[in-house]
Structure 1
């Protein structure tokens, strides 16, 4: 007989359903009361058929309108419970008053008027039970308070029809109560199921939101990831474009991170990345957002009113912060950062294009301004435009007819004779003219044509080498992609075997970048070539970060000392010490040393005093065509002493 309040959510559901039925309840009470008063207007006292019905009808209509107007109004559980409780309290006096009023009219009139009273009480109680089915306690109160006096009045009337009517109403009311209880139970279960479903939906939404958050979060550094970067970039670009604002994209790459991974292990590398992310996060505010794109690459999105000078200043502060030493617990390491910026509206027709410009600025920074900041400018725009032209042209080029080889001699210092030739690729495009290998090789590596180029040129180089004396070797450059798979190396092995050239006359030159991305696979590929009998030379030695570690870990046969250490060596004591140290290292590890970039007699004189065995450079010869190699081989010896090329 009480309003339940164990479950606030269930109370709200009960109130929502009940509030839609209350106006009908007051409509039934009002119309039934006025109808009964009308049939007794001439036979009953005025206070029973005019005044009391009028007052009650005004109250019922007012409350019905109030409930109708507020039926869709949002209330909380406490308000819902309060209103249900108020209705429950009001049910008893209304039931008592309506029952007393109708019983008071029973003595007046003939059998028809008395039958109308019985009908009023029966139909009203049934209608009220229906309307109060969502408020069980009120329905029970009305049923008891109406049916008991009604049944008693019918029995005391002594009229058989009225007695039967009273019994009938009691039985029907009991059936209605049973229906009400069943409906209320079902409603209660459905409401609970709905609440459970809502709770599950909330949980699922929370899980979905969490999954979305995690999908946009880098699991290692706990900053936004690559997916989040491009999503945020698209939004920021659209906003900057519509509002005429400024937007800057910064792409950061760590310098010297790979050696830390190699020397200290991946766990140390992870600690470095986490520390760098924390340092970058200190710059994050309303205008600067920080992201990890993957590996050791990070990104910045800068919004607001920033000019190029402020962007560069921000970049310098970022680079300075990253360059601070990092304590790994077992040691202290240091990395630097190169940073490329691109700013809208200066460049970029969309977010992706702006990112590509920033990435190219980063490429320029790593190439020419390592550990510095570069903002994409007109010069780089021209370079990028040229790069796209080369890329599109290379994609459709007839490589078999357009590619060629030239050969630069590698001179044995003691005999002044060619010990071998390095094969160098050349591309003479009929549409855009000659293209430098420095331009088209990186593009070929990017678009996947490098494998075809390597195989095509290796076949030609071996065909040429087969015409040289047996003591002259071929030096051939390999791309990182050539070592990336066992299948690629097996193709090279097949070409070598098919050529008929002794593998011991072949030296493959590799760079540090050829083994950095996947050392284990590169090492396995190199060992296959070594087992075949080929030599392996580490090119550009001394310019990378981990060249020394690769000397110990790879099955090398030669080291090529980078020409940057040779330039003006007769004036630079430091260069002399470096070359001397490399030569000592080679002697200790039984590796042959070849010094590149020898261009003057002064440089050659210093190298000779240091005991260099083999050299290469313009001092002896520029790269030459295949036919010239034979003439060069015939004309070497004593005559080479007089041959100098500036």
Structure 2
């Protein structure tokens, strides 16, 4: 019984080894049916080496045929080698042709199978023919056959490294019979030579199997590397795309805009075509953003971006430059007609209301346009001139399009000359302060003077503050100018009666400089003038950019004892919100409500409402821009007490203030 089980175990072990051997042999002989990419790689490698194998085969067939032509029968010495040579030559030509043409991946396995079949058949026929020649000829011719077959098999192993199944089949079909024949030869030298050759072929076959495995592994590694390179390239392309994309609107960003502009300019210069650069921003966006919050502003910009993307097409490039500003490049625009059409298209896509916060809002945009080559020859020049046209449009015709013209060029040069003069000016000697009175019509006396900046240039003469004050703000010279003007205003105010205060305007840019605010506080405390007689006026535009910081600066001034007034009230977007959050002492009603206050019920009601608001909040209220007696009488009837305007006096120099106070008080019984 134990012998039976022992035999059974031995049989199972043999079957297991046989099964493993069959699996191993099947793996060796298998083609990459499920890996078309590997099959294509193997076929490409074969295309490089198989022609060399056929060349060697043709040469060896020819040499054997020549040496055995006279000793072997005609069938073996002439007919068969001729047929083999013709077949080998045809296969060589086919493989040389295949090297010049790529094979689709789906056909690679089929062609590998055909290559293995034809190679094994032809090699086997050649090997069989060589073995049939052994009975003919002397010992040297037998050695020639031995060496020729061995070299041919060796070449086969080397050239078929990427198709190991074909090499193995040829080794089995040709090499095994060859080894048996030569190892059984009666001559000792032949046997020894055959044994050495078999050993070499066996070692070569072992190396072939290892190298074939390495070839497959290398192919997989190369494809994995290529896959990772593709993934890296895709990530790089995506990062590059994101680097040039504005995530909020989905439009290209500022960096992409200038890169596109440089390329468009180069193309326009080479082709002799015109090119338009347009800058566009949304009207009243800042007020909407402050009123409803940044999240609502972002949603509005996202909606605008989606609408502007509809206009993008051949020759039209739109990017978001930042905030609510957008840049446009119009290629081959054919002058102003195409630009005007684009402006009309912009108005059309923006005319539908947008969702802002919890309500709908109608939006519009202003455009400034510069055309190449008339407006400039470089990207910087075109951008600056389009920006100037946009700035001019915002000041004069908001909601429209302004095309940069020669008139603008003249104005730019004048402003450049003005800026150059202001930059090189001696502020201490050239800047001076004019004073305009604020009058209490009820008590009929001057209660304050507003300090107004003046510049007397040795080169340009008296320059309007409407020109040099915005220039000082744009050129970042407003902070030193403010310090000089405040120092002179404080010095003049020390000579006034105790009941007369000084009103001094602060620029929005004053709040952005810690050094400037510190300098202003130092001037106030060292002036010898009671801080309670100093009133700093701020406009809402000074508060919009960073309300919290501006509020903090005003709080520091109030801590000194100074008073705070909100100027141009009624022209901003969130005045009531600011009034409730700021510690104000005075509100000044903008002159735009005073022009027709005596003839317009709406203006009169607005002025009356603001005066009542100030009374309820216990704030002083000054009505600016009073120029006629009709306006004065209407304002007095509406409850206004403090007025300022040309009816009372135009701004006067410091030395005329005392006379103006005395003259007004002397004429007080006849005023009102």
Task: Tell me the TM-score normalized by structure 2.
Answer: 0.90
Look up the match of 1:469: 497
How far 1:165 moved relative to its partner? 2.7
Q: State yes or no: 1:176 paired with 2:204.
A: yes
In the alignment, is the contact (CA less than 8 A) between 2:56 and 2:152 conserved in 1?
A: yes
After TM superposition, the structure 1 stretch with the greater mean CA deviation from structure 2, 547-556 or 83-92, is: 547-556
CA, structure 1 residues 322+606, in 2 after alignment: closer, same or farther (shift >3 Å)? same
Distance in 2 (CA, whole Å) between partners of 1:380 and 1:187 is 73
Aligned partner of 2:227 among 176, 190, 199: 199
Q: Assess, with a 3 A threshold, how the Cα gap between structure 1 residues 402 and 92 changes in structure 2: closer, same or farther.
A: same
**Aligned match of 1:158:** 186
Aligned residue among 143, 157, 166 for 1:129: 157
| Distance of aligned partners of 1:500 and 1:48 in 2 relative to their CA distance in 1, 3 Å threshold | farther
Cα RMSD between the aligned structures? 2.5
Deviation digits for residues 544-573 of structure 1, max 9, x if unmatched? 222333222222211122222222433333
Aligned to 1:448: 476
Specify whether residues 546 and 377 from structure 1 end up closer, same or farther in structure 2 by C-alpha distance, changes over 3 A only.
Answer: farther
Pair 1:459–1:439, CA change in 2 (3 A): same
Task: Verify: 1:29 aligned to 2:57, yes or no.
Answer: yes
Q: Deviations over 1:45-93 (max 9, x none)?
A: 3443444334433443443344345425333212333332221111221
Q: 2:580 maps to which residue?
A: 552
User: Structure 1 stretch 319-328 or stretch 111-120: which is displaced more?
Assistant: 319-328
| Counterpart pick for 2:107 among 64, 79, 90 | 79
* 1:500 alignment counterpart: 528
- How far the C-alpha of 1:203 sits from its partner, in A, is 0.8
The one of 1, 13, 16 aligned to 2:44: 16
Task: Write out aligned runs for 1:390-409 (5 A).
Answer: 390-409=418-437
For residues 214-236 of structure 1, give each alpha carbon's deviation from its aligned partner in whole angstroms, at most 9, with x where no partner exists.
22222122222222222222222
Equivalent residue number for residue 420 of structure 1: 448
Partner of 1:384: 412
The secondary structure found in structure 2 opposite 1:564 is: helix
Query: Residues 509 and 87 from structure 1, CA distance in 2 versus in 1: closer, same or farther, beyond 3 angstroms?
Result: same
**Tell me, what secondary structure is at the counterpart of 1:637?**
helix
Counterpart in 2 of 1:358? 386
Quick one: distance in 1 between partners of 2:538 and 2:342? Answer: 38
Q: Hey, what's the Cα distance between the residues in 1 that align with 2:322 and 2:101?
A: 52
Distance 1:641 1:225, change over 3 A: farther
User: Which range moves more in the overlay, 117-126 or 579-588?
Assistant: 579-588
SS of equivalent residue, structure 1 residue 348 = coil
Shift of the 131–413 alpha-carbon distance from structure 1 to 2, 3 Å rule, reads same
> Where does the alignment leave 5 or more consecutive residues of structure 1 unmatched?
none
Aligned equivalents of 1:325, 1:118: Cα separation in 2? 95
Q: Deviations over 1:421-454 (max 9, x none)?
A: 2222223333444433222322332332222222
Q: CA separation of 1:478/1:185 partners in 2, compared to 1, >3 Å: closer, same or farther?
A: same
Matched-pair contact (CA < 8 Å) for 2:290–2:544: no
1:578 and 1:249 map into 2 onto residues whose CA distance is 42
Give the conservation status (yes or no) of the 8 Å contact 2:292–2:356: no
Equivalenced residue count is 644
Within the alignment, does 1:628 sit opposite 2:663 as a pair? no
Task: Please name the residue that 1:108 is paired with.
Answer: 136
Of 31-40 and 534-543, deviating more is 31-40
Distance of 1:403 and 1:341 partners within structure 2: 36
CA distance in 1, matches of 2:467, 2:36: 72
Number of the residue aligned with 1:221: 249
TM superposition shift of 1:126? 0.8
Which moved further from structure 2: 467-476 or 195-204? 467-476
Whole-Å separation in 2 of the counterparts to 1:616 and 1:341 = 40
CA distance in 2, matches of 1:466, 1:47: 135
- Aligned ranges 1:344-355 → 2 under 5 Å: 344-355=372-383
- Check conservation: 1:312, 1:375, Cα contact below 8 A: no
CA distance in 1, matches of 2:82, 2:336: 83
Task: Tell me the CA shift for residue 147 of structure 1.
Answer: 0.8
In 1, the alpha carbon distance for the partners of 2:357 and 2:529 equals 53
Q: Take 1:543 and 1:558, find their aligned partners in 2: how far apart are those partners?
A: 16
Give the whole-Å Cα distance in 2 for the aligned partners of 1:350 and 1:146. 78
Q: Does 1:38 align with 2:56?
A: no
Matches within 5 A, 1:262-341: 262-328=290-356, 330-341=358-369
Residue 172 of structure 2: aligned partner: 144
Deviation at 1:270, TM superposition (A): 1.9
Match of 2:13 in 1: none
The alpha carbon displacement at 1:414 in A equals 2.8
Shift of 1:642: 7.7
Q: Equivalents in 1 of 2:588, 2:429: separation in Å?
A: 31
1:574 CA displacement: 2.7
What's the offset of the Cα at 1:209? 1.4
Match of 2:18 in 1: none
CA change 1:68–1:320 in 2 (3 A) is: closer
- Asked whether the 8 Å contact 1:249–1:343 carries over to 2, the reply is yes
SS in 1 for 2:398: coil
2:570 alignment partner in structure 1 = 542
Taking the aligned partners of 1:229 and 1:300, their CA distance within structure 2 comes to: 8
Deviation at 1:521, TM superposition (A): 1.1
TM alignment of 1:586-601, pairs within 5 A: 586-601=614-629
The CA deviation at 1:133 is: 0.8
User: What residue is the counterpart of 2:24 in the other structure?
Assistant: none
- Give unpaired runs (5+ residues) of structure 2: 1-28
Deviates more, 1:111-120 or 1:280-289: 280-289
Separation in 2, partners of 1:329, 1:572: 33
> What's the CA shift for 1:366?
1.7
* 2-structure distance, mates of 1:106, 1:396: 111
- DSSP-derived class of the 1:236 partner: helix
The 5 Å alignment of 1:254-265 reads 254-265=282-293
- Extract structure 1 runs of 4+ deviating beyond 6 A: 640-644
User: d(CA) in 2 for partners of 1:9 and 1:400?
Assistant: 82
How far, CA to CA, are the matches of 2:404 and 2:574 in structure 1? 30
SS in 2 for 1:499: coil
